[in-house]
Structure 1
Amino acid sequence: MLRASFPTYDVVIPSHNRAHVVGDAVASVLAQSRPASRIVVVDDASDDDGVDVIRSLARAHPSVVPLALPRNGGASAARNAGIAACGAEWTAFLDSDDLWLPDAAAALLGAGERDDLDVVVGDFARVERNGAVGPRERGWDGGDIRAALRERNVLGTSWSIVRRRTVHAAGGWDPSFRTCEDWRFFVDVAATGARFGRMDALVAHYRTAAGERLIADDADLAAGRLRMLAHPYLMADEPALTI
């Protein structure tokens, strides 16, 4: 049964050299039909004027919390810094070049509370350089989460939300991963016994060419994949908990 009050949530947005797009990501959270408690925007030692942009957003919007890291530590370290500033029941990790649709939080959290989930995943659509929106996509079909994660990272940070206690139970994000870091995070979360569920709603636009992205060579990606496949959770045989 749904509780009377709507659950609280924070959004963590890591940003590195995304001064030209991070404001769009923040605006998409500010436009939610259910407002966030905090929008923690972490500048990961950008070379552009990202810090100034983020501080300007914070001056204009009280819910925006600006953080500036003194040195670049990667997306995982930036997200961990953001987690430390969060206090709501749920935490979302929106990439700085992606966008939430206006009812994303209401849809994700409604499903989480209704079905007593720890991780809720929605659908997304790609937005190309020319602004064209592609068809609705889903990385995970709602089946066995361990089997799915053995193949690849089937979940996306920008179209999911996680209970804060579950984030902490998983130990946050592993900063030693510069590739496959989101895959590692969701495997660590699954290893805690978290309950995953998917919902049938489009919640995010994944902008594929909005700004600079980390380009990893084949060797880095292969090494990251090997590290992931050696994770004890993925090597176990017992069925995972999904609903």
Structure 2
Amino acid sequence: MEPLVSIVTPCYNSAAFIKETLESVLAQDYKNWEIIVVDDRSSDNTCQIVEVFTKRHDCIHLIALTQNGGVANARNIGMAAAKGKYIAFLDSDDIWLKDKLSRQVSYMEKELLPLTFCAYKRINEQGKEISGQIPVPASVNYNALLAHNVVIFSTSMMLKSAVGDLKFSRAGHEDWIFLLQLLKRCGQGYGINHVLAFYRVRQNSVSSNKLKAIGYTWKIFRKSEGIGFLRSAVLLGRYAVSASLKRLR
């Protein structure tokens, strides 16, 4: 019996993209999955679109929140509802290739791995590819991830038992903080250097706002991880360089 994968998808005003995201999950050649869509009090028709899918597919679930609590809260609620051996995360505007789940589950089952991630390509809001393959290393530990976040969260899959009681904090780059905390527990994450996902770059996203991203990164080093000023400054410099190089690909 193939292990169940629980997919957690937080969404907020995602009507323009959520249909394509869900269809990419339905197209997976790995079939033992559930997806938990947590709507963070959208003001558009995101919920109505998702409800159409829930009526047609028993493995698609919608949790519609009555108050907006942010993406960290939505992910925590989705994780709490997850029943699978593995938890995968998929943002509501990103897309998976059809063999994404099968490759990751096969690799994790064979090697008994706690965390995997994969290479990807960037697309714009219209779905056009705007980068070549963004490669990933064969493995990453806490110090390596601290110096450079190589994991796009929509490519990650983790063993639920390894996650345990970890929760997302309400901070900028909450996915990066979560992965750092997870690596403190499990030691290493492992990369699959094949493009298995498309990461959508949106004009108004936090990741597209360079000054805001730098501010969040500084807070991770200083407050979340408790790193001294000088080392934080060095890490921030490395972050800026690696982020600039990534955008050139």
Sort the TM-score into its range (normalised by shorter chain).
0.7 to 0.9
1:89 paired to 2:85 = yes
Please say if residues 118 and 162 of structure 1, whose CA atoms lie closer than 8 Å, have aligned partners that are also in contact.
yes
Q: How far did residue 110 of structure 1 move?
A: 0.9
CA contact (8 A) 2:39 2:64 kept: yes
Higher helix share: 2
User: CA offset at residue 167 of structure 1?
Assistant: 2.2
Shift of 1:152: 3.4
Task: Name the CA distance, whole Å, in 1 between partners of 2:208 and 2:96.
Answer: 26
Equivalent-residue separation in structure 2 for 1:87 and 1:131 (angstroms): 32
Instruction: Note the alpha carbon deviations across 1:139-192, whole angstroms, 9 max, x for none.
Output: x423542232222322111112111112224x1211x21x21111110111111
> For the Cα contact (< 8 Å) 1:13–1:94, is it kept in 2?
yes
Alignment of 1:58-207 (within 5 A): 58-133=54-129, 134-138=131-135, 140-169=136-165, 171-174=166-169, 176-177=170-171, 179-207=172-200
2:220 is aligned to 228
Distance 1:120 1:218, change over 3 A: closer
What letter matches 1:168 in structure 2?
G
Tell me, yes or no, if the aligned pair for 1:120 and 1:196 is still in contact at 8 Å. yes
Q: Against the structure 1 CA distance between its residues 136 and 212, is the aligned structure 2 distance closer, same or farther, given a 3 Å change threshold?
A: same
For residues 110 and 184 of structure 2, what CA distance do their matches in structure 1 show?
A: 23
TM-score by length of 2: 0.82
TM-superposed deviation, 1:128: 2.5
CA contact (8 A) 1:41 1:82 kept: yes
1:26-62 residue CA offsets vs partner (Å, 9 max, x unmatched): 1111111112431101111111111111222111111
Residues in 1 aligned to 2:29 and 2:38: alpha-carbon distance in whole angstroms? 24
C-alpha separation in 2, matches of 1:129 and 1:157: 18
Amino acid at match of 2:74: A
Return 5+ residue gaps in structure 2 as ranges: 229-249
Compute the displacement of 1:216 (Å): 8.4
- SS for the counterpart of 2:186 is coil
Distance 1:198 1:75 in 2: 25
Q: Which residue of 2 aligns with 1:240?
A: none
Using the size of structure 1 for normalisation, the TM-score is 0.84
Contiguous gaps of at least 5 residues in structure 1: 236-243
Deviation digits for residues 195-215 of structure 1, max 9, x if unmatched?
Answer: 311123211011223x86347
Mapped pair 1:48 → 2:41: no
How many aligned positions are there? Answer: 227
Letter of the structure 2 residue corresponding to residue 192 of structure 1: R
What percentage of residue pairs aligned between the two structures are identical? 25
- The one-letter code matched in structure 1 to 2:183 is A
Please give the root-mean-square deviation of Cα atoms over the aligned residues, in Å: 2.4
